[in-house]
């Protein structure tokens, strides 16, 4: 259906009364809102419509729609002098519901970081509890990896030469893979433990949740994953060292 074949005034009236644009804004459908505002900029001349559109966008935390609305008519949409409108907009930002949760945000702390960017503070206690529980659990896993990696460094596969005290399989390539992987697992797990200890000893202020704590959590989880992967490589290389002479097929599942 082409616009030139329709009565523009009827379409405009339909858009204002049918809540089509408002429903699209509530659901975060950028394309529909963009097309309506592009071909019918007169929508932004209606103050009541603009207020409702702002409310739906802010309550849904739709960043792209927020930028779109500001870009279409920043002066008229966001510079009115009526204090009641400013209060209403602030209430829309403060209001939180499940539809504010983005699918790419996992964990209360990262959700709080996203909400702080919209001036939200209600998730503070839940975020602090989630951050402490996650840090404690991950620290325990990292400590276990440290214990295993440290012990493996002194009980190398195949043992040591009794006369010289050097590893028997020192000249094998798979042994060097084991040493490097085990060392990296130890260093990564130690770094992980330090990251989570800094989280547990943090003051947990609102400002910390905005940048510091999420960054430390991401770094801690990253090093934890690296340490687990390194332990898997060390385990595989150890099996190769011990069983390669008897079971030639051992290389197949490992590689």
pLDDT digits (tens, 9 = 90+) for 23-38: 888 888 888 888 888 8
At residue 185, the pLDDT reads: 94
Average pLDDT over residues 195-203: 92
- Averaged pLDDT score across all residues of the chain: 75
pLDDT > 90 in the chain, percent: 23
Rounded alpha-carbon distances, angstroms, from residue 92 to 68, 116, 143: 18, 14, 45
Average pLDDT over residues 162-168: 69
Least confident range from 92-106, 124-138, 163-177, 196-210: namely 92-106
At residue 247, the pLDDT reads: 55
Q: Does residue 248 register a pLDDT over 80?
A: no
Rounded alpha-carbon distances, angstroms, from residue 55 to 37, 48, 61, 69, 116: 16, 11, 10, 12, 18
Q: Which of 57-66, 109-118, 209-218 has the highest mean pLDDT?
A: 209-218
Average pLDDT over residues 206-225: 88
Q: Does residue 144 register a pLDDT over 80?
A: yes
Domain boundaries along the sequence of the chain: 3-100, 124-254
* Closest among 97, 131, 133, 132 to 115, alpha carbons compared: 97
Indicate the SS3 state at residue 206: helix
């Amino acid at each position: 259906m082409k616009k030139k074949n329709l009565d523009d005034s009827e379409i405009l009236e339909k858009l204002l009364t049918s809540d089509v644009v408002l429903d699209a804004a509530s659901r975060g459908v950028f394309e529909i809102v963009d097309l309506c505002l592009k071909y019918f900029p007169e929508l932004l001349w209606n103050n009541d419509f603009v207020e409702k559109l702002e409310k739906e966008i802010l309550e849904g935390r739709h960043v792209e729609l927020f930028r779109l609305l500001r870009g279409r008519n920043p002066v008229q949409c966001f510079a009115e002098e009526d204090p009641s409108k400013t209060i209403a907009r602030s209430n829309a930002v403060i209001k939180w519901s499940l539809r504010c949760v983005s699918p790419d945000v996992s964990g209360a702390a990262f959700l709080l970081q996203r909400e702080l960017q919209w001036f939200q503070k209600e998730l503070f206690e839940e975020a602090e509890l989630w951050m402490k529980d996650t840090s404690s659990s991950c620290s325990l896993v990292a400590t276990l990896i440290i214990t295993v990696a440290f012990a493996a460094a002194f009980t190398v596969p195949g043992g040591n030469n009794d006369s010289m005290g050097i590893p028997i399989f020192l000249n094998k390539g798979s042994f060097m893979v084991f040493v490097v992987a085990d060392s990296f697992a130890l260093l990564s797990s130690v770094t992980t433990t330090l990251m989570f200890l800094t989280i547990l000893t943090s003051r947990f202020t609102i400002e910390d949740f905005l940048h510091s704590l999420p960054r430390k959590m991401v770094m801690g989880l990253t090093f934890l994953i690296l340490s687990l992967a390194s332990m898997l490589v060390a385990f595989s290389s150890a099996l190769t060292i011990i069983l390669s002479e008897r079971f030639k097929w051992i290389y197949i599942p490992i590689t």
